[in-house]
Copies of this chain bind each other. A is one copy, B any other.
Amino acid sequence: MTNEGTREDGRPLTGAALTRAKVLDAAARLIGTVGLVRATTKEIAREAGCSEAALYKHFRDKEDIFVRVLRERAPRLAAAVAELPDRAGQGSVREHLEAVVVIAVPFYRQSFPMAGGLLASPELLAAHRRKLDDAGPHHVSSHLADYLRAEQRLGRIAADVDPDAAAMLLIGACFHRAFLEVFYAGEAPAEALRPADPDEFAAATVRALVGGIEAPEA
């Protein structure tokens, strides 16, 4: 996740780019540990090893820092799901859905502390929403629904299912699972996160979605 000090190609960052990266890493780290409300400009500067004033050489304001963290440090869930429709017909449906779960849960887990801050403040929320353009949170389930529709055309899933509803079930489960993981932050009662293993959770969730719960006709 952190790429402090090195570029994608491995060359070390220098000067401005380096401190910019340090600030983003520091902010991301603080949000994950002490939370958004304690991620103050003073703390970010301390963690990044620079002065508060330096933050403002690289970012317009504090909100700008958080927006960049979200955009440049978050796993690209929406992009990953958007690619799925092209893969319809290849591999197995279960496989693809499990892959979605495995990516989605950590993504939401990381996003919750920041999104939480937005939910507590409608004006911040509205400002952020405008900048999101076509990356809004509903695109995850709607891209997944597109994928399900594609598989449906290929006859690999039942013709009478509602792709939107099915997508909502799966994404919702990931979303809620991530919430529980954040909420119980390592102090979860054993029964709260079942199964505990991420891969098993993915498998069990997809199995339940695929199979449905209806009793077989007698």
Interface residues of A (CB under 8 A from B): 33-38, 93, 112-123, 125-126, 129, 136-138, 141-142, 148, 155-158, 160-162, 164-166, 168-177, 179-180, 182-185, 187-189, 191-194, 204-205, 207-216
* Interface of chain A, main secondary structure: helix
Q: How far is the CB of A127 from chain B (nearest CB, A)?
A: 12
How many copies make up the complex?
2
28 A-B residue pairs with CB within 8 Å: A34-B122, A35-B123, A35-B125, A36-B120, A36-B121, A112-B119, A113-B119, A114-B120, A116-B116, A116-B118, A120-B120, A125-B185, A136-B189, A137-B183, A138-B188, A138-B191, A138-B192, A142-B191, A158-B215, A166-B213, A168-B176, A169-B208, A169-B209, A172-B176, A173-B173, A176-B176, A210-B212, A212-B212
* B211 A210 Cβ-Cβ under 8 A: no
* B214 A129 Cβ-Cβ under 8 A: no
* B213 A157 Cβ-Cβ under 8 A: yes
* A192 B136 Cβ-Cβ under 8 A: yes
* B160 A211 Cβ-Cβ under 8 A: yes
* B122 A185 Cβ-Cβ under 8 A: yes
